[in-house]
Structure 1
């Protein structure tokens, strides 16, 4: 899955551009968007994905809402065991995430100039729907809505030093960090560049830790309310010039 509008900001003053000997993904804006926003914004999105993943994992029998690699493993085990209820639930969540990535990509392709505010507003509406579904005890529907939201959210990533920040792709974060470590010794990558992957991973782990604590103290509905409030706060706080 790829997002269509990578956004580039510097992590540190000595960040170097990719060289021919160490090609990195393009960070040039696409779709006519010149929007830029703080690095912390993208890390917050990663943390939110980890927060909701942990809460859903604990509450809904090891289902994730953003970590589809984990759900794919879960799906394979369900197929092997022919655990039909689990199979249906995991397929539903994966399908919702894919649908969300499609919706988010369509929004990015057609409304790139105001991508951030449109996506955050859409997320806020979906969080409200998920809260209502949770209150009505429509558990699978609730989790599918959150997975849909996480799929949409991935279009708000930033490409910083060739690293996608703002996505919940944990394996990719660690692999990229390992690649960067190998290339630092050859001066192909700077440490600020390499640390971007590490910070992204730490944001996800930190969010997951908070989610695990929250779901033990609160219910899943309350976790969704926290996510909703965070998205609304981002809508208010992100300066207009960054939208």
Structure 2
């Protein structure tokens, strides 16, 4: 997230909030599996493979979630390649559709992982993700790096947008944890509406022809 991305900070923070919200709902709905935090799923997959429990279905669930997430990244990236101008908005419409369907029918809950993978194609530069909105370990590393720069008297405030990104994710996760016991999967409708609002912003900011 460099200076040229400054206009994108509010949208990125909003999407991080959405990702935390969906991840908390998915975590509760799936009984302790993540739909956004794939590093955690990777660690759990390794543990389940090395120390399997009796009739352990965790391996299959974790492998499926990882595959769905990667599939979502691929789908979002292909949309960006096919639609160089409106691709960002189209990706977010896809995210909204997947979350809305999961909110309507819990059997479509797998769409949460696909949506979270696709959301990472929102911010791209030269074919690579420029701002990751669903994984925060790299964001924490950036916070630490830029705080060190600030202590050294350089680039005093560059840690701030990364901190806001991380905080957005945590606040969203808190909201998801709070609302799921009351609304269940229907709480995803709020995330779908949020993704549509983000798509409208992205469409407004699409590059000129």
1:182 and 1:76 mapped to 2: Cα distance?
A: 34
The question of 1:205 aligning with 2:170 is answered yes
- Number of positions where the alignment pairs a residue of Structure 1 with one of Structure 2: 200
> Structure 1 residues 144 and 239 mapped into 2: Cα distance closer, same or farther (>3 Å)?
closer
* Contact preservation (8 Å) 1:165, 1:200: no
Structure 1 residue 127, shift from structure 2 partner: 2.1
Counterpart Cα distance in 2 of 1:180 and 1:165: 16
Q: Among 1, 23, 35, which residue is 1:53 paired with? A: 23
Q: Which stretch shifts more, 107-116 or 90-99? A: 107-116
C-alpha distance 158-202 of structure 1, shift in aligned 2 (>3 A):
farther
Residue of 222, 226, 234 corresponding to 2:190: 226
Q: Does the 8 Å contact 1:68/1:94 carry over to 2?
A: yes
Q: Which residue of 2 aligns with 1:193?
A: 158
1:125 aligns with 2:68: no
What does residue 8 of structure 1 align with? 4
- Which sections of structure 1, spanning at least 5 residues, go unmatched? 1-5, 11-36
Q: Of 170, 180, 183, which residue of structure 1 is paired with 2:146?
A: 180
Counterparts of 1:143 and 1:72 in 2: how far apart (Å)?
20
Corresponding residue to 1:66 among 36, 53, 69: 36
Is 1:104 the counterpart of 2:73? The answer is: no
CA distance in 2, matches of 1:73, 1:206: 24
Match of 2:180 among 191, 215, 220: 215
Q: Does the C-alpha gap of structure 1 residues 166 and 8 become closer, same or farther in structure 2, counting only changes over 3 Å?
A: farther
Separation in structure 1 between the aligned mates of residue 157 and residue 87 of structure 2, nearest angstrom: 27
Question: RMSD of the alignment, in Å?
Answer: 2.4
Contact kept, 8 Å, 1:65 with 1:143, in 2: the verdict is no
Residues 1:149 and 2:115 aligned together: yes
In 2: Cα distance, 1:82 partner to 1:239 partner: 44
Q: If the length of structure 1 is used for normalisation, what is the TM-score? A: 0.74
> CA–CA distance in 2 between the matches of 1:168 and 1:234?
15
- 1:230 shift after superposition: 1.5
Hey, what does 1:19 align to over in structure 2?
A: none
Contact 1:54 1:209 in 2 (8 A): yes
Q: Give the TM-score taking structure 2 as reference length.
A: 0.85
Is structure 2 residue 134 aligned with structure 1 residue 168?
Answer: yes
Query: Which structure carries more helix by proportion?
Result: 2
Query: Structure 1 residues 112, 197: CA separation in 2 closer, same or farther (over 3 Å shift)?
Result: same
CA contact (8 A) 2:103 2:187 kept: no
The equivalent residue for 1:15 is none
The CA deviation string for residues 7-33 of structure 1, in whole angstroms up to 9 with x for no partner, is 9333xxxxxxxxxxxxxxxxxxxxxxx
